[in-house]
Each structure stands twice: as C-alpha cells, then as structure tokens.
Amino acid sequence: MSDLKALEIKDLHAGYGETEILKGINLSVKPAETVAIIGPNGAGKSTVVKSILGLLNVISGDILLNGKDIVGVAPDKAIKQGISYVPQTHNIFPNLTIIENLEMGAWTRSSGISERIDEMFQLFPDLKIKRNKVAGSLSGGQRQMVAMAKALMVDAKIMLLDEPTAGLSPKFQAQIFHTIKRINKNGVPILLVEQNAKQALEIADKGYVLVDGANKVEGSGQDLINDRNVARMFLGSK
C-alpha cells in the first residue's frame, strides 16, 4: 500500500490542440500529502491541472488516479471519480446562494448531501451564517471558501487547487493556506498550483518547480525554500 499514489503523472505531454505546452511532466501525490507546483508564468502550471480534469488534449503520457488511468475521461466523469477541483477564476456560481453552490458541487452524489453540507459548515463556519446569501455578494476571501467547500462536496480522492490565493489580501491568503492544511489533515491529498511560492512551499510536503512545460527541480517544501536557485528565481530573495 505504501507506494500507492493518490495521483501519479508519468511523462505527460499535453496542450491546446496541436500546441504542446507540457513537454514531459512527472509528478506524484501520495495519500495524505500536500504537493505544490510552482514556477514562472507560462510554465504550464495550470495546464497540468486542466489535463488531469480532461479539459484539454493529452498527447501522450499517463495520469493515474489511485492507480487508475484517467486520460481521456470527460470532466464531469472525472469529477464523479473523486477529483475535487477549484478553478482559479469563476469558481463559484454568483447568482446561486451558498447552499445552492454546495448542492451543485454535490451534483454527482446520490446520498449524504446534507451531512456533507454540515461538515462543510463546520470547516467554514462563516459560510453557515450566510448560507442563504447569493455567493456573488460575498468578499473575495469568502468566495474562495465557497469555491473550496463546493469542490469538497464530492468524495475527494484528491483536491486540485489552481492559484487559490491569487488576488486576495495577505490576511485572506494566510487563512486559505491554513484551511488547505486543515483539509489535508482530514485526509484529502492536495495538489496545489501557486504563485505565492514561499507560502505554498511552507505548507507543502513536496514541491515541484515547473519551467517551460517540464519539471526542473523537485524536493521537500523546506528543501526548495532553502535551495538558492529556487529562492533566487521565485522567492524574491537574493
């Protein structure tokens, strides 16, 4: 059991149509791990997440969810298989109430929806008070909470987060990272794509540095923070 991976990507080549953006990605997420993907703009970080979901064209390579190949599986089926996905933008239904957003996240579930909603309200108590407010009326940080709660309505085998702290104030950023760690502690493996490299690596068990569609450096979160090259490139230090 120990070498079973929640998610494993082997030599993935993928892109939009014929344009190859990912040129050989290898990464894995073990159960109970938080894994961060960092890298410069245009390195293909979000593309990795989109290929896992089946949103774009996989040219070659394998994507294994709990050992099962999911290449070519349509997005709605991929979600049903237990991928919890929080897109970077447009990740809530603004004209639906919070509770309706959660119900939409549970579309593929046939039972246990109200229990799951209660669990989400325990994880995000702020949302419970505003449960009948339309999600579009919330602040940026709260919207992100709704997006995460909505994504977690599936029985998540892995959670994919695409830049969850982009555009948020530092206070909310810290809160989001804290929440991600809590979700992970509850037993959900996490694959996190982040611009805020340092904070992401701080909560990550493992990190990958993506450059030009391939992973250049990998290591534990702390090792990458201490790596001088990585630090110079992404962490803003000299």
Partner 1 sequence: MWETFGFEFVNFYLIPGLVLGCIYALGAIGITLTFSILRFANFAHGEVMMIGAYLTWTAMILSDSLFGSSLHPLLAAIPAVVIAIALFILVDRYFYKPFRAASTIRVVMASFGMMLVIRSFVQAVWGPNQLTFVPGIAKPNELVKNLTLSMDMMILVPNKHFWIIAGTLIIMLALSWLLTKTKIGKGMRAVSDSPELAKVSGIDVEVIVKATWCVGGFCAVAAGVFLAMDLQMLETTMGFRMLLPMFAAAILGGIGRPFGAVVGGLVIGLAEELSVYPWFGNGSLISPGYKTGVAFTIMVIMLVVRPSGLFKGRLF
Is 156 among the residues that bind partner 1 (CB under 8 A)?
Answer: no
CA dist 237 and 108 (Å) reads: 45
The site that binds partner 1 (CB under 8 A) totals a number of residues, namely: 23
CB of 158 to partner 1, least distance (A): 14
3-state SS class at 149:
helix
Give the helix ranges, DSSP H, for the chain.
45-53, 75-80, 98-105, 113-123, 125-129, 140-151, 170-185, 197-203, 221-226, 228-234
- The smaller minimum CB distance to partner 1, of residues 36 and 147, is found at 147
- The smaller minimum CB distance to partner 1, of residues 103 and 227, is found at 103
- Residue located via tokens 């290929």: 51
Q: Where does this chain touch partner 1 (CB under 8 A) — which range of 16-24, 93-101, 204-212, 227-235?
A: 93-101
Among 12, 154, 159, 161, binds partner 1 (CB under 8 A): 154
Is 85 among the residues that bind partner 1 (CB under 8 A)?
Answer: yes
**Contacts (CB under 8 A) with partner 1, residues 98-117:** 100, 103-105, 107-108
**Contacts (CB under 8 A) with partner 1, residues 1-40:** none
Sort residue 224 into left (φ over 0), alpha (ψ -120 to 50) or beta.
alpha
Q: Where does this chain touch partner 1 (CB under 8 A) — which range of 21-29, 36-44, 92-100, 187-195?
A: 92-100
Sort residue 120 into left (φ over 0), alpha (ψ -120 to 50) or beta.
alpha
Among 19, 60, 67, 95, binds partner 1 (CB under 8 A): 95
Q: Are residues 33 and 4 in contact, defined by beta-carbon separation less than 8 angstroms?
A: no
**Contacts (CB under 8 A) with partner 1, residues 50-79:** 53, 55, 75-76, 79
CB of 24 to partner 1, least distance (A): 25
- The smaller minimum CB distance to partner 1, of residues 95 and 229, is found at 95
Count of Cβ atoms closer than 10 Å to residue 63 Cβ: 24
The DSSP code sequence of 16-37 is: ETTEEEEEEEEEEE-TT-EEEE
CA dist 31 and 124 (Å) reads: 23
CB of 89 to partner 1, least distance (A): 10
Q: Are residues 100 and 150 in contact, defined by beta-carbon separation less than 8 angstroms?
A: no
The binding site for partner 1 (CB under 8 A) comprises: 53, 55, 75-76, 79-80, 85, 87, 90-96, 100, 103-105, 107-108, 150, 154
